[in-house]
Amino acid sequence: MIGPLAHRKALVVYLTVGYPSLQRTVELASLLSTWGSDIIELGIPFSDPLADGTTIQKADEEALKSRVTPSACLEVAQAIRQRTSLPLLFMTYYNPIFSFGLPKFCQECEGRKVNGIIVPDLPPEEGEELEELTSRYGLSLVYLLAPTSSEERMELIARKSQGFIYLISLTGVTGARDSLPTYLEDFVLKVRKKTPKPLYMGFGISSPSQARRVAQVADGIIVGSRILELVEDEQRLKDFILSLREALDSL
């Protein structure tokens, strides 16, 4: 399970498993805690990532060309766990884990000390089976909440999401943005009234100033596309993550 961070704003960093290589994923994940990350989100490559923009799509394509499977991702998670105690979350679409077998996948996650799962194309109205399985195997099932969500949907996800709620900063797909929408603060505050659970926001965050703005109202940030843009330049990636950590700690 994923617990709240009481001492600071959370920095959640996303890596596509197998991009640029399986070994590099393990190496980078082991460095993230030393650079100030709090949670590692591991993307399982998928051929039709509907919620993702071109950066993550490209990473998925490259990983799939290298035959990165859900089984390989589980092995990578186990290797990462031997190097870091940071919470590990799988970000995956429903089809790969359904094909793998939901009970088997959750059991394998528990065995490899993965802490939770994010499934962006799983509506909460259809999540009962996976909710039961994740609860059985001690995993947090995190739901996403969009700014266009109805009051009823907000209340449903506030009740069902485990560990934290993944707030989507904007409508559309993932990807680094030059600016974030003006309604962002109102959206976070509206959700805040419905739940005491941590609220972590992702989609589009790509600079320290954006991270600081989001963290003024949310409990943490999730950064993916910009990470993947820098993943082959370790020094630039380190500097970027350190700048995000500094921005969050400045609040």
Residue by residue, DSSP assigns 185-201 as HHHHHHHHTT--S-EEE
**Annotated catalytic residue: which of 38, 52, 108, 219?**
52
Local structure of 13: helix, strand or coil: strand
The sign one gets for the Cα dihedral 120, 125, 129, 131 is positive
Is residue 166 a contact partner of residue 135, using CB atoms and an 8 Å limit?
no
Strands (E), the chain: 10-16, 39-43, 88-91, 116-118, 140-142, 144-145, 165-168, 199-202, 220-223
Q: Give me the residue label for tokens 């009970």.
A: 103
Structure tokens at 158: 């506030």
Cis amide prior to 20 (ω within 30 degrees) = yes
Give the integer Cα–Cα distance in Å for 183 and 194. Answer: 18
- Asked if 41 is an active-site residue, the reply is yes
Give the integer Cα–Cα distance in Å for 100 and 206. Answer: 33
**Annotated catalytic residue: which of 27, 38, 41, 249?**
41
- Asked if 60 is an active-site residue, the reply is no
Q: Which residues are catalytic?
A: 41, 52
